[in-house]
């Protein structure tokens, strides 16, 4: 059987990936309209590498299944239902996977479904699922489609494919002997890479078919036939960065330009294009634009923007949409009283075919430096990891440099090469202002993960530490604001833990490279002085403003492509890469002919050639030269732009200071990762703040009332969404509020107030601040003190279309509230734990070295340090010795309560665990460590409380009369209260059941811990059971 004009499951998946109806339309109709079936473009080397990775993963997986005797290979020819069924029935294994399966989708059954929706049937081509999992049951087999995908996570396009296969097979295997499992799966490679780690069933990510059914049936049987029946002109499409590599790219690029489609401007995502089209739609429907004058999308947008006041009108009627459009089109984000027309540089570039400057202040690209390092990295998509395969570093400097200007090498030598350059720079006097550049975000991400992976493997290596200090994202923050605050906090937290011995002070001083000699008092004084010094260092940074300029504003490694995108509108449809950028930006530069800029594809092809390295090195060097020239051209374009200079920062003097306190490798890594976790949260916040929080909800002030717990300010939500946590039982003041706009404001030229706010200075403080903690607030930037309030969300109510938001605020701001004025609400970093975690890691580290230096101290191995044991030897927390006995008795108890319940005893009914809860309880009883996970409302608190009672009862029944101490702890009071109340209620139920032996319950006492330090210690002897409950903050010192 042969089928022309058909779609495959892969076509359906690609359509979802590209989010483009035109792709499907072309793929289905191409032969009819063009006369020849899709001439696929020859695969590029990069695409081949990506493809190869997929094939490698499949063959690794199949050979592993084969070796495990779990694979059945069927001939790769279309199988009839009968043959497939016979093949399955002939195999007597209980569990196996079929590979090579190929079948024609069941046309008759699918056509019936199309007819039900009055749609023209769509023809599908051969289906080839990777694997069909077969599990034998007592009365037949269950089956499940599993596709192997070499990606990091499961995507919607994968779901489309596995759903289609499952749907077809449910018709083909329509036999009572075969039961669909109700699920389908995607088998991903192990996170560590499939070349080094064997495949695992844990990496099969399954999804319930019922979850996919309604949306994919709608797509397959309604939307798909209707889009295929449209004429080509009516099919929706948008030429955008995702189009890279699509078979129809060439024709769509020229169509976008010819038709003045939004895709004739570059880098406008599908979602953004939709918003711009919506804005045009509203403008036509509200007569801001006339239907009679309709031109192309680009021209219509130009007319709309040029019309004085038009955007202000749209701002009022569709604030979110207009705000988004302003961002996409490079327009000022604020509303102004506009008397004259404005124009969008993005639209203007597409109309005029000339580069335009986007007048946006930039904090991430320096205006100048003394030394620039340009780094090009080669990454191989076929490699199982995300390793750097080859690199080229070029040094360009106004300072005389005694170092090679170019270095090439394989990934393994990258860190050493970078460290050599950093060391050379640090030996210069004065140290020059230095900036590192890469071209693309993927190179930046790979460089960062290369550094982090190196640090995880060998955190003590001097080169790695040097590179982390100089290049890791956020390292600048780590060295300035972050370390003084956190390290002094961690040290104070550590020292406040209780009585310190002289040895503790000595160990502490040693870690800080300070003298350890002297009397006890001298040591203490030395440590106090050092902590004060660190604190002062932090405070002085606030005073001279250095930290503010370092606060992520100037990344250590600048991604140049992002900077060009944010500052220049290039006249290139859809998207551009370095050669396209060089072509338009360096036109007229005779030293670097734009046409000679090597593409990533060319460089990758040279890398794949196994002959001499010279052509590759030459090409990489050329790439770096072009990158630097693009940087110079960007600066010159921006400098020639009228108005304020847009590049507000200059490069910093290179620094690679890196301070940590731990010595033990694992603890040192944790100490390091703990800090970087906070940094990454801060970086996320900062990224949005520097753009003026474009996605922050905007509130319109309405009134102020006196609430039971203070003054409440009430607002109407104008744009965005505001969520209030369901479990909110405490005032966290976890948001910040600033004025959004004023009609005649010229504040585009100012740094957004949120970007000046320093989260760390107040991240661990409770609001409202008291007279002691207020000092930290006074260290905030003066503009923050005047213009920003810290906010606690009290309530959000929705009535019809109107959402009302009520807030408590704290601050010293002078802005005040005026009726109908707009304010922006955005999150701040609340962090009560980092300093404590660092202090705890430091304490453990000191214990470790005490053990190493003095084994007679009683610590024999890491087993004596439970937390370290958990990290280094998690398997030692596996099943306990008496597990089988415990489980047997527990099973009797579950059965007893179930029988009593069935006889009508409601108290016993409350003590019966549901089957999933029972499984969890049995895990708790048989393992030293269990993690119970579940969404809210699934009974975790009940399961934990009842499992505790069962464990205690089992032990009593086995004659264990030893004293027991139980801690129940959590982060929040609400969780503790819920657990305690549940426990008390369950005890009541136990005691309500007549004739049940509950004597052991009289030994059990539950105590609420309010302050660990002051709480009476448990009795040292006896057979009682003490259950202590309290948050980690209340219980930690018990």
Residues that bind ligand SF4 (CB under 6 A): 18, 20, 22-23, 26, 237, 239, 243, 246, 248-249, 252
Q: Minimum Å distance from CB 898 to ligand SF4?
A: 58
Closer to ligand SF4 by Cβ: residue 38 or 1019: 38
Please enumerate in sequence order all residues whose Cβ is within 8 A of that of 380, keeping only pairs 6 or more positions apart, or say none. 49, 387, 389, 604, 607
- Helix (H) / strand (E) element for 396: namely strand 388-397
Least separation, in Å, of the C-beta of 18 and ligand SF4? 4
Nearer to ligand SF4, 262 or 736 (CB): 262
Indicate the DSSP class of residue 413: G
Q: What is the token pair recorded at 752?
A: 């957004």
In this complex, which beta carbon is closest to ligand SF4, that of residue 246 or of residue 756? 246
C-beta of 23 vs 607, nearer to ligand SF4: 23
The residue among 252 and 459 lying less far from ligand SF4, judged by its C-beta, is 252
Please provide residue 1021's backbone torsions phi and psi, each rounded to the nearest 5 degrees. -135, -175
SS3 540: helix
- The rounded distance, in Å, linking the Cα atoms of 520 and 501 is 8
Least separation in angstroms between residue 236's CB and ligand SF4 is: 9
The two tokens of residue 1012 are 């660990």
Nearer to ligand SF4, 187 or 237 (CB): 237
Please, which residues have CB within 8 angstroms of residue 930's CB and are 6 or more apart in sequence? Answer: 920, 923, 924
Of 267 and 624, nearer to ligand SF4 (C-beta) is 267
CB of 222 to ligand SF4, least distance (A): 21
Residue 294 C-beta: closest distance to ligand SF4, Å: 22
- Closest approach of Cβ 713 to ligand SF4, in Å? 48
Shortest Å distance, C-beta 25 to ligand SF4? 8
Q: Compute the least distance from the CB of residue 230 to ligand SF4, in Å.
A: 14
Our CB check for ligand SF4 shows the closer of 18 and 986 to be: 18
Cβ nearer to ligand SF4, comparing 262 with 1038:
262
Q: What is the DSSP letter of 959?
A: T
Which phi and psi angles does 1026 have, rounded to 5°? -105, 125
Please say which residue, 242 or 632, places its beta carbon nearer to ligand SF4: 242
Minimum distance of ligand SF4 from residue 344's CB (angstroms): 22
Q: What is 263-331 written as a DSSP string?
A: GGSBS--HHHHHHHHHHHHHHHHTTSS-GGG---HHHHHHHHHHSTTHHHHHHHHSHHHHHHHHHHTT-
Count other Cβ atoms within 10 Å, centred on residue 656: 19
664 with 380: CB under 8 angstroms?
A: no
Instruction: Considering the complex, state which of residue 253 and residue 824 has its C-beta at the smaller distance from ligand SF4.
Output: 253
Cβ 242 to ligand SF4, closest distance in Å? Answer: 6
Task: Point out which residues pair with 968 in neighbouring strands.
Answer: 1029
User: How far lies 277's CA from each of 135, 281, 755, in Å?
Assistant: 51, 6, 32
In the complex with ligand SF4, the residue whose CB is nearer, 252 or 455, is 252
Least Å from the CB of residue 17 to ligand SF4 = 9
- Long-range contacts at 986-989 (CB < 8 A, ≥ 24 apart): 986/910, 986/911, 986/945, 986/946, 986/949, 987/949, 988/907, 989/907, 989/908, 989/910, 989/911
Query: How near is the Cβ of 379 to ligand SF4 at its closest, in Å?
Result: 24
Instruction: Write phi, then psi, for 968 (nearest 5 degrees).
Output: -115, 115
Residue closest to 571 by CA, chosen among 585, 588, 589, 590: 585
Q: Which residue, chain included where needed, has tokens 């717990």? A: 709
The token duo for 773 is 């903690």
Cβ nearer to ligand SF4, comparing 187 with 575: 575
Distance in Å, CB of 240 to ligand SF4, minimum: 7
The CA-based diameter of the chain, rounded to the nearest angstrom, is 99
Of the candidates 758, 783, 749, 745, the one whose C-alpha atom is nearest the C-alpha of residue 553 is: 758
343: left (phi over 0), alpha (psi -120 to 50) or beta: beta
**Encoded tokens for 396:** 């360009």
Give the residue with the Cβ less far from ligand SF4, 246 or 620: 246
Shortest spacing between CB 132 and ligand SF4, in angstroms = 31
Q: How far is the CB of 754 from ligand SF4 (least distance, A)?
A: 37
DSSP 877: G
Nearer to ligand SF4, 23 or 221 (CB): 23
Is residue 682 within 8 A of residue 694, CB to CB? The reply is no
- What are the C-alpha distances in Å from 993 to residues 710, 873, 889? 48, 43, 19
Three-class secondary structure of residue 1018 per DSSP: coil
- Alpha-carbon distances of 440 from 385, 445, 559, rounded to whole Å: 19, 9, 6
Q: Using alpha carbons, list the distances in angstroms from residue 757 to 322, 831, 863.
A: 27, 15, 44
Least distance (Å) from ligand SF4 to the CB of residue 119?
A: 22
Give 32 or 888: the residue with its C-beta nearer to ligand SF4: 32
What is the DSSP secondary-structure string of 334-393?
S-----S----HHHHHHHHSS-EE----BSSS-S--SEEEEEEEEE-TTSSS--EEEEEE
CB of 237 to ligand SF4, least distance (A): 4
DSSP one-letter string for 815-833:
----TT-EEEEEE----SS
CA distance 1033 to 589: 65
What's the angle, vertex CA 505, arms to CA 502 and CA 509, rounded to 5?
140
248 vs 437 by CB, closer to ligand SF4: 248
Minimum distance from residue 404 beta carbon to ligand SF4 (Å): 43
What are the DSSP E strand ranges found in 868-907?
none
Return the number of the residue (18 or 101) whose C-beta is nearest ligand SF4: 18
């Amino acid at each position: 059987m042969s089928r022309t004009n058909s779609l495959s499951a892969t076509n359906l998946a690609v359509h979802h990936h590209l989010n483009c109806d035109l792709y499907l339309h072309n793929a289905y109709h191409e032969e009819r309209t063009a006369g020849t079936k899709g001439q696929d473009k020859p695969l590029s080397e990069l695409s081949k590498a990506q493809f190869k990775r997929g094939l490698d993963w499949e063959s690794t997986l199949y050979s592993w299944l084969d070796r495990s005797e779990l694979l059945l290979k069927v001939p790769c020819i279309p199988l009839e239902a009968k043959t497939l069924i016979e093949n399955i029935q002939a195999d007597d294994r209980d569990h196996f996977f079929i590979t090579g399966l190929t079948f024609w989708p069941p046309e008759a059954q699918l056509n019936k479904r199309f007819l039900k929706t009055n749609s023209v049937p769509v023809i599908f081509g051969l289906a080839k699922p990777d694997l069909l999992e077969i599990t034998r049951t007592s009365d037949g087999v269950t089956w499940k489609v599993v596709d192997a995908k070499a990606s990091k996570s499961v995507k919607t396009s994968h779901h489309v494919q596995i759903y289609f296969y499952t749907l077809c097979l449910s018709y083909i295997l329509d036999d009572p002997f075969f039961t669909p499992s109700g699920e389908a799966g995607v088998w991903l490679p192990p996170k560590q890479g499939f070349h080094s780690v064997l495949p695992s069933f844990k990496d099969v990510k399954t999804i319930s078919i019922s979850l996919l059914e309604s949306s994919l049936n709608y797509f397959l049987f309604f939307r798909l036939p209707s889009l295929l029946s449209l004429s080509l002109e009516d099919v929706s499409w948008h030429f955008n960065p995702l189009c890279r590599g699509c078979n129809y790219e060439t024709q769509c690029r020229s169509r976008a330009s010819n038709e003045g489609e939004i895709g004739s401007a570059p880098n406008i995502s599908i979602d953004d294009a939709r918003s711009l089209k919506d804005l045009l739609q509203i403008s036509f429907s509200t007569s801001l634009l006339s239907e009679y004058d309709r031109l192309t999308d680009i021209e219509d947008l130009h007319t709309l923007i040029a019309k004085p006041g038009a955007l202000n009108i749209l701002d009022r009627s569709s604030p979110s949409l207009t705000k988004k459009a302003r961002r996409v089109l490079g327009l000022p984000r604020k509303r102004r009283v506009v008397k004259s027309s404005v124009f969008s540089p993005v639209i203007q570039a597409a109309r005029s075919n000339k580069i335009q400057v986007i007048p946006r202040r930039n904090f991430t690209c320096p205006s100048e430096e003394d030394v620039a390092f340009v780094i090009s990295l080669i990454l191989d998509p076929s490699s199982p990891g995300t390793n750097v395969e080859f690199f080229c570093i070029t040094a360009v400097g106004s300072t005389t440099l005694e170092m090679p200007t170019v270095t090439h090498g394989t990934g393994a030598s990258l860190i050493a090469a970078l460290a050599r350059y950093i060391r050379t720079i640090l030996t210069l006097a004065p140290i020059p202002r230095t900036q590192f550049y890469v071209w693309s975000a993927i190179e930046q991400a790979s460089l960062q993960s290369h550094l982090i992976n190196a640090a995880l493997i060998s955190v003590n290596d001097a080169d790695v530490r040097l590179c982390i200090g100089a290049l890791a994202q956020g390292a600048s923050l780590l060295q300035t604001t972050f370390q003084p605050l956190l390290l002094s906090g961690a040290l104070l937290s550590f020292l406040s833990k209780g009585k310190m011995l002289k040895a503790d002070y000595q160990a502490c001083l040693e870690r800080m490279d300070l003298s350890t000699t002297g009397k006890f008092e001298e040591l203490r004084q030395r440590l106090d002085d050092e902590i004060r010094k660190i604190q002062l260092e932090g405070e002085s940074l606030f005073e001279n403003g250095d930290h503010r300029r370092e606060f992520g504003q100037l990344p250590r490694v600048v991604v140049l492509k992002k900077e060009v995108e944010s500052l220049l509108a290039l006249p290139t449809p859809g998207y551009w890469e370095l050669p396209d950028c060089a072509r338009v930006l360096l036109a007229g530069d005779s030293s670097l002919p734009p046409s000679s800029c090597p593409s990533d594809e060319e460089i990758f092809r040279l890398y794949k050639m196994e002959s001499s390295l010279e052509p590759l090195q030459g090409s990489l060097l050329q790439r770096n030269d072009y990158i630097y020239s693009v940087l110079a051209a960007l600066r010159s374009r921006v400098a020639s732009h009228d108005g304020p200079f847009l590049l507000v920062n200059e490069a910093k003097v290179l620094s690679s200071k890196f301070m940590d306190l731990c010595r033990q490798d694992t603890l040192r890594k944790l100490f390091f990762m703990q800090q970087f976790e906070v940094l990454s949260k801060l970086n996320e916040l900062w990224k949005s703040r520097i753009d003026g929080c474009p996605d922050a909800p905007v509130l319109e002030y309405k009134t102020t009332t006196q609430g039971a717990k203070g003054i409440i300010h009430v607002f109407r939500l104008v744009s965005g969404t505001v969520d209030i946590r369901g479990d909110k039982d405490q005032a966290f003041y976890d948001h910040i509020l600033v004025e959004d706009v004023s009609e005649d404001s010229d504040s585009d030229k100012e740094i957004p107030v949120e970007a000046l706010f320093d989260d760390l200075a107040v991240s661990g403080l409770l609001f409202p601040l008291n007279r002691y903690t207020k000092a930290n607030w006074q260290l905030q930037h003066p503009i923050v003190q005047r213009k920003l309030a810290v906010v606690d969300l009290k309530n959000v109510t929705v009535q019809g279309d109107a959402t009302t938001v009520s807030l408590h605020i704290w601050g010293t701001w002078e802005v005040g509230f005026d009726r109908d004025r707009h304010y922006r609400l955005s999150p701040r970093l609340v962090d009560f734990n980092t300093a404590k975690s660092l202090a705890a890691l430091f304490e453990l580290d000191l214990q470790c070295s005490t053990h190493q230096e003095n084994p007679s101290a009683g610590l024999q191995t890491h087993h004596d340090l439970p937390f370290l044991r958990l990290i280094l030897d998690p398997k030692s927390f596996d099943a306990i010795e008496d597990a089988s006995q415990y489980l047997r008795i527990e099973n009797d108890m579950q059965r007893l309560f179930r029988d009593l319940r069935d006889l009508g005893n409601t108290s016993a009914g409350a003590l019966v665990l549901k089957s999933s809860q029972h499984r969890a309880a049995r895990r708790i009883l048989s393992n030293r460590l269990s993690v119970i996970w579940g969404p809210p409302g699934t009974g975790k608190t009940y399961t934990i409380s009842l499992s505790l009672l069962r464990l205690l009862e089992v032990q009593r029944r086995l004659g264990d009369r030893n004293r027991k101490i139980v801690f129940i702890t959590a982060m929040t009071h609400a969780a503790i209260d819920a657990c305690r109340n549940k426990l008390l209620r369950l005890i009541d139920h136990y005691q309500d059941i007549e004739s049940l032996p509950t004597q052991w319950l009289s030994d059990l006492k539950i105590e609420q811990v309010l302050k660990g330090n002051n709480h009476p210690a448990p009795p040292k002897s006896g057979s009682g059971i003490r259950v202590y409950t309290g948050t980690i903050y209340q219980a930690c010192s018990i």
